Amino acid sequence: MDEEASFLSSLIQGKSTFPRALNDNENNSGQSSFLVNANGDAYDPYSLAWRYLGMYIDCDIDEHSQSDGNGGKDNNAYYSDDVFRERQLQNNNQRRGLSSGDDSDSCSRKLLWAAYHDPQYKDGQIGEYQFYDWRNDEWDTSTCQTKRCAKMNCHAKRTHFQLVGVFKETDGLVDWAEQLIKHEGYCVWNDAEANVATEAEDEQRNGHSGDEGDSEYFEFMYNRQNNWAQGCKAMYLTDSYGNALWRDIRPLPEGNITDGLYLDDKCTQKASMTLGQYIVKFYSKYYYDQEMGEEVAAQWKENVAQWNSLMQDFKICQPCRAYSKTPNFDDNNRRELRLLNEENNDGGGDDELWGYNCYDYAGYQNCNQCYKFETKTDLEPASTEDLERASAQGTVLAIKVDGKIYGKGGIDWYENDNDPKTAILIVVLLAILGFIILSIRKCKCISKIVKRVRSRRFHRNLQKALFEDEVDGDEEGKTEERLKAELEQKSEIIEQQHQEMELMRLEMDQEHSILAVEWQNSRNIRDQFIEEPTTDDEWIPMEDKFEDEHADDELAQTDSSSDSEEGTVGNSSVNQE
């Protein structure tokens, strides 16, 4: 464990980013260790964490000065000759602040990362922590197996993690990216697929094929790492004005990077042409196919964006011990390879307490990623000058070292100057308040001020009460007048309805009188047809009497008809005679 936690020895000249002095703890190789406490004891690897900060150009440059684009010089242009001249005039004592492995200020690209220690660690390994999910902007507690369930938040401005040191990769991205991608990167990017390996995948992993069983994220990063420029390289074509071009990594804000074109062989003076435009020009000139060039340029742009997006996983706090969020366990093939790695003491670890084991692309179990950076890359402790230079270029994430904040941006960070300004404002306000209190006590006028305040308050309340009474009186008078008006209006309506009802009653009386007269007339007419019965004659019903009279009339008519027939017959006889 001691060898696993050791760093390559490095003498520091000038200020260091480490909050404590180095100790004399050395391993068998004579390597001095930084990952130890004040007593010289190594930290538990599960209590250590790290995060990626970004890249910068290791020389003084003016990022805001540019060529005018036509090969000439404008008033604000910054040229390579000037860069070198000013660099030669720098104070040599200041330049000695770099560590012993410094590359003589060669304008090469450097990478920064920071290591942290959790002083509250309780031996719960991965099951003691929850992890920030930047894609969903939430904390993932699925790995929590202990009561503590602490946030792995060394990336935050306010965190319980303590800074161990900031480190500089002097060879830039090359070796560092390789170590990250094939170890902890493999497991972090494979978590979406649970990273359940099979024997066939183990064989492919041992042969470094990576063509099956691995996540698309891992395959992309593994293939893309070799496409970045390794140093300042000359290009075949010139820009639109005939200027020679060079290509190198261009650091961007918040730890991002891209491919950049430059006008000098140290890659410090940015060209006006982008690499995407260069690709289109290249395909148009050599292949006579501008459309194909545009497709390749679009793919290059998409690849750069994908790289920066996946590196977000390591701009947040990650354990030095590689892990997987999905519990998985060893098999025979893995175990043989793991035991071989352990015999070589090359950073492998034991089974994770809760099964959150990482079996990486190189065949390691729970590899110590920080140890790999220390032993497999050209590592140096970063100096204060390194941080100041990177911060001035605006390309690294914010980090607080010895009470000072360098860089800008990141999760749970805000502007650097807020805290000092706020603190100064609070101190000034407290000083003013204390001065006022002392002045009042000194002049012994507190009682006078209190009486004056109470008097003013009494008069103000009295005026307010009088005003409210006046307002209430006016409102009551207006309410009474409004009620009277409404009452008069309703009385008129009632009176009008009463008159209408009287007219209706008179009309009904008239109709009743007319009906009574008509009824009386009808009764008189009926009485004329009715005869009163006498005492001598038998009373005969009107209907029977009418029937008798009708029968008599019919009988009389019959008799007269008979007589007429007889007379006719007699006359006819006489005539015959």
- 81-85, 197-201, 545-549 — which is least confidently predicted? 81-85
Residue 448 binned pLDDT confidence (cut-offs 50, 70, 90):
low
CB atoms within 10 A of CB 480: 10
Amino acid letter at 281? Answer: K
State what percent of residues in the chain have pLDDT above 70: 64
Max mean pLDDT among 14-18, 37-41, 86-90 falls in: 37-41
Residue 305 pLDDT > 60 = yes
CB atoms within 10 A of CB 300: 18
- 69-78, 291-300, 415-424 — which is least confidently predicted? 69-78
Q: What is the pLDDT of residue 505?
A: 87
Q: What is the mean pLDDT of residues 88-117?
A: 62
Token pair of 536 as six digits? 């001598």
Query: Coil, helix or strand for 35?
Result: coil
Query: Coil, helix or strand for 25?
Result: coil
Domain ranges (residues) in the chain = 45-413
Please give the Cα distance from 291 to 276 (Å, whole number): 13
Q: What is the mean pLDDT of residues 349-366?
A: 94
Question: Which DSSP string corresponds to 269-283?
Answer: SB-SS-HHHHHHHHH
Residue 23 pLDDT > 50 = no
Please give the Cα distance from 166 to 16 (Å, whole number): 9
- 16-25, 186-195, 242-251, 300-309 — which is least confidently predicted? 16-25
Asked whether the beta carbons of 146 and 122 are under 8 A apart, the reply is: yes
Please give the Cα distance from 159 to 66 (Å, whole number): 40
Q: What is the mean pLDDT of residues 521-547?
A: 63
Buried b (16+ CB within 10 A) or exposed e, 403-422: eebbbbbbbebeebeeeeee
Q: What is the mean pLDDT of residues 533-540?
A: 50
Q: What is the pLDDT of residue 542?
A: 54
- 9-18, 283-292, 370-379, 415-424 — which is least confidently predicted? 9-18
pLDDT in tens, 379-414: 999 999 999 999 999 999 999 999 999 999 988 775
Give the DSSP letter of residue 43: P
Report how far Cα 246 is from the mean position of its chain's Cα atoms.
39
Q: Distances from the Cα of 171 to the Cαs of 58, 143, 375, in angstroms?
A: 11, 35, 14
Please give the Cα distance from 410 to 412 (Å, whole number): 6
The burial of 15, by beta-carbon neighbours within 10 Å (0-12 exposed, 13-18 middle, 19 or more buried), is given as middle
Give the DSSP letter of residue 166: E
Please give the Cα distance from 370 to 321 (Å, whole number): 8
Q: What is the mean pLDDT of residues 44-62?
A: 92
Question: Which DSSP string corresponds to 203-238?
Answer: HHHHTT---SSS-HHHHHHHHHGGGS--S-EE-SS-
Max mean pLDDT among 182-196, 408-422, 509-523 falls in: 509-523
Q: What is the pLDDT of residue 479?
A: 80
Amino acid letter at 245? Answer: L
- Measured in residues, the chain has a length of 577
* Chain mean pLDDT for the chain: 76
pLDDT in tens, 126-180: 999 999 999 999 999 999 999 999 999 999 999 999 999 999 999 999 899 999 9
198 phi and psi angles, rounded to 5 deg: -120, 175
- Strand 318-319, strand 48-57: pairing: antiparallel
Residue 32 pLDDT > 80 = no
Nearest CA to 175 out of 111, 233, 256, 101 is that of 111
